[in-house]
Amino acid sequence: MEDSVERKKTMRLRLFNIPSVYGVSQVRKFVANLLNIPQDAVVCRKGPKWSHAFLSFRPAGELTSVPDLEVYRSKLAGAEWKRVKLDAKMEEAVADPLVVARAREEPQELKCLNDQVTPLWKVPYEEQLVRKHTKLEALLRKNVKVGDDFLMEPIKASPMTTGYRNKCEFTVGHDKNGVPTVGFLLGAYKDGVVAVENAKDTVHIPEVLKALADHLESYVKDSGLAIFDRSTKEGFWRLMLARLHDGDVMAAVQITPTGMETKRVAEIVDSFVVYMNSFTFEGTFPLKSFFIQETAALHHGIDPKAPFMLKSGTETITQTLSTLKFRISPHSFFQVNQAATDILYSTIKEYVVDSLSSKTVLLDLCCGTGTIGMTLAPHVQRVVGVELVQDAINDAKANAQLNGIENISFRCERVEAAIEKVIEEIPKDQPIVVVLDPPRNGVHVSVIKAVRKCKRICRVVFVSCNPVAAANNFVDLTRDETKGMVGAPFSMRRAVAVDLFPQTEHCELVLQFHRD
């Protein structure tokens, strides 16, 4: 009998052939009407373009207990919706980590927020630097051919060690006592943690962004609108993206207005925009750009497929870097520590420029918004930037125009697909230097193969924000030539860490590879 009960607990229905234009609220309403049960009894999980949905049921209203799922399955299978015949099948449900965690006999002890987001905050900064340098030097000795006398250059410290982070995603949720809060999660959903703590005591967030989060929190508490529940996938308020550049603040608040009338949503947003624009900090009105993002996505975070809708202010704000200016939009990639970024880019410039000729072409691979290429453009004949994300390319082109840089061009394409074509277009008498600044996991091995295959590439400067994940790239650049890895290997000449992330375990690593 116990096995049977446990089996029911882990079963769910999958409903097929749903018109993909319908969302969670429409599915719940249809199912509730068909089964003659309260809508609150229907728990639905459905992606925006899915033609299926996962259904489970819970007691609600007049439904005091849930019957065997076969009863509901038989009623749903064969039912018609908009002239489409539905199908329904029972299947074993994937356990919700939140439910599993809450069923533990011993509840998980939550970390304090600083331990979660800045795990080194109690460690003296000089010791943080020693730890990072030692760890990265050991990583290189393990993965790259170096001599016994190899020494990394001394790690470069961040000029700011607190309040340095210029981009934050604040979660709208509930604290450990169930009080509406805007801050950071105290753990991972997969570990059953959904509690959010206010960011007021964090060490890496600027005071103005903490104040903005508090401003939003006050409105959420008084709004009467539900906070998005990551378990049921229902609720209105989700998160806020906040950026700080040259003293100006940009914010984008993400909401889920599923099932609400368009007119009602517009009224809510209009009132909310007026409130957000009343934000002041130290006697100023720093909020220069405000957006709303509507999404029904199931994952937690900014939805890359949903547009940012400008509600007040300018579409972009500006970040000054050395003598250059860069426009910042909600989706723009820019290093989160501006003061240390100056040091990082000066280091990259040093590693690239010390043996250039007037004919050198710089390939800026994974170029993002073009910051590295534009910094180096005065020192080479021309720069070619390659990046997969179209929005980043749009920003890069606008940034080049903003700064009057004419010897730079950009291609929106996968690096592994573009690199051989780009190299073929460069005259054979022009030497090529490559800067690789890839995402956390490094680049596809085909990129390394293309770089090694091109004999005119004599230098690669590799910038890694996660050297452990990118270590295979270092290995492939320096390993002996094989049938699968054509072209002379590179050797590592220089290496240095630049600390862009004080109080955390993370650090940027800049490597210089050569071959004759």
Sorted by sequence, the CB contacts under 8 Å of residue 74 that are 6+ apart come out as: none
**475 CB-side CA count, 13 A:** 12
Shortest CA distance to 257 belongs to which of 25, 431, 61? 25
Q: How far apart are CA 244 and CA 443, in angstroms?
A: 29
Sorted by sequence, the CB contacts under 8 Å of residue 498 that are 6+ apart come out as: 155, 156, 340, 343, 344, 347, 507, 508, 509, 510
Q: How far apart are CA 107 and CA 116, in angstroms?
A: 18
The beta strand positions in 247-403, using DSSP E, are 248-255, 287-294, 309-313, 317-321, 324-328, 361-365, 382-387
Does 437 show up as a binding residue in the annotation?
yes
Q: What is the DSSP string of 34-86?
A: HHTS-GGGEEEE--TT-S-EEEEE--BTTB-S---HHHHHHHHTT-EETTEE-
Looking at beta carbons, which pairs linking 75-78 to residues 24 or more positions away fall under 8 Å?
75/34, 75/35, 76/13, 76/15, 76/31, 76/34, 76/35
Sorted by sequence, the CB contacts under 8 Å of residue 224 that are 6+ apart come out as: none
Does 116 show up as a binding residue in the annotation?
no
**Would you call 367 a catalytic residue per the annotation?**
no
Which residue of the set 112, 412, 465, 507 is catalytic?
465
Helix (H) or strand (E) holding 88: strand 87-92
How many CB atoms within 10 Å of residue 480?
Answer: 8
Q: Are 307 and 293 in contact (CB under 8 A)?
A: yes
Does 303 show up as a binding residue in the annotation?
no
Reading the block at residue 361, the tokens are 């072409």
Q: Are 434 and 371 in contact (CB under 8 A)?
A: no
Q: How far apart are CA 10 and CA 56, in angstroms?
A: 10
The residues that bridge with 182 in the sheet, in sequence order, are: 172
Q: What is the DSSP string of 113-175?
A: HHHHH-TTTTS-HHHHHHHHHHHHHHHHHHHS---TT--PPPPBPPS--SS---EEEEEEEE-
Q: Are 456 and 431 in contact (CB under 8 A)?
A: yes
Q: What is the CA radius of gyration of the chain?
A: 27
Instruction: Quote the Cα angle for 289-291-294, to 5°.
Output: 175
Q: How far apart are CA 400 and CA 326, in angstroms?
A: 9
Reading the block at residue 239, the tokens are 């998160």
Binding positions for S-adenosyl-L-methionine: 335, 387, 437
Binding positions: 335, 387, 437
Instruction: Please list the active-site residues.
Output: 465
